[in-house]
């Protein structure tokens, strides 16, 4: 196989990792919302935890996107 073709296949494979981040972020906001609707008065206090969890989870998706980009444009 040509190296150029392998690069594109690798970039495509790297994007599968984003599915995991999607599940994580969806789970995060879903859980926050179900908790917040049960006890709305406690919700604002958990905002920083929500954003923290979002950033930590979303970073993993960004990492896989980054691998794809580096394979496409830099490597």
Partner 1 sequence: MLPLHFTAPILAKDPLDPISQFEIKKLAELKIGEFDISFTNSALMMVVGLVATALWLFFSMRRRALVPGRGQSIVEVSYEFIANMIRQSAGADGLRFFPFVYALFIFVLFANMIGMFPIFFTATSHLVVTVMLAMMVWLLVIVYGIAKNGFGFFKLFWPDGVPIAIKPVVGLLEVISFVSRPISHSIRLWANVFAGHILLKLFAGFAVVLFTSDAIGLKLLSIAPYIMTFALVPLEFLVAFVQAYVFALLTCIYLSDALHPGHH
* Distance separating alpha carbons of residues 70 and 53, to the nearest angstrom: 26
Identity of the residue, 13 or 66, whose beta carbon is nearer to partner 1 in the bound complex: 66
31: Cβ contacts below 8 Å, ≥ 6 apart: none
Identity of the residue, 35 or 54, whose beta carbon is nearer to partner 1 in the bound complex: 54
* Distance separating alpha carbons of residues 23 and 12, to the nearest angstrom: 18
Identity of the residue, 13 or 37, whose beta carbon is nearer to partner 1 in the bound complex: 13
> What's the min distance (Å) between Cβ of 56 and partner 1?
8
47-69 vs 17-38: helix axis angle to the nearest 10? 170
> What's the min distance (Å) between Cβ of 43 and partner 1?
15
Residues that bind partner 1 (CB under 8 A): 48, 51-52, 54-56, 58-59, 62-63, 65-66, 69-70, 73-74
């Amino acid at each position: 196989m040509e190296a150029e073709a392998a690069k594109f296949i690798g970039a495509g494979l790297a994007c599968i990792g984003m599915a995991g981040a999607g599940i994580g972020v969806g789970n995060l906001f879903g859980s926050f919302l179900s908790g917040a609707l049960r006890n709305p008065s406690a919700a604002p206090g958990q905002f920083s935890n929500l954003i923290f969890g979002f950033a930590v989870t979303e970073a993993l998706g960004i990492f896989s996107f980054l691998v794809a980009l580096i394979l496409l444009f830099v490597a």
